[in-house]
Amino acid sequence: MKKILKYALYLAFALVLENEIWANLTFSPKIETIIKVALILAIFELILKPIIKILLLPVTLLTLGLIRVVINTLGLYLATFFISGFAVGSVNPFNYQLSGFFAYLFTSFIISTLLYIFKKI
């Protein structure tokens, strides 16, 4: 339980920071939705992600680990599916418009990078 709350705190900071940098996340009631999304992502990160990694081990070996980014994107899709006040909009990195799956992919990459940095600090 303590580990889930610690991951949820890290993910909440990552979500807020990612939204401040790229401004593509929508939270309808701000604080409550951020907490709910962070809890869903923490549960996905700690419980579902290891199971999915084991199930997709052959695909991970074939793609040399690139499928892991898609697994993180799946977690973000899961959060938008369960939380009605949370949405990922299009993002415009370096004057290139990303929408749909690629916006989710870019956003999950940024959140995963921030989570990695927060865990190392």
Per-residue model confidence as pLDDT tens digits over 78-111: 999 999 999 999 999 989 999 999 999 999 999 9
DSSP 41-99: HHHIIIIIHHHHHHHTHHHHHHTTTTHHHHHHHHHHHHHHHH-TTEEE--B-GGG--B-
Does this model's pTM top 0.75? My answer is yes
Number of domains the chain contains: 1
What is the domain extent for residue 21?
A: 2-120
Per-residue model confidence as pLDDT tens digits over 1-30: 899 999 999 999 999 999 999 999 999 999
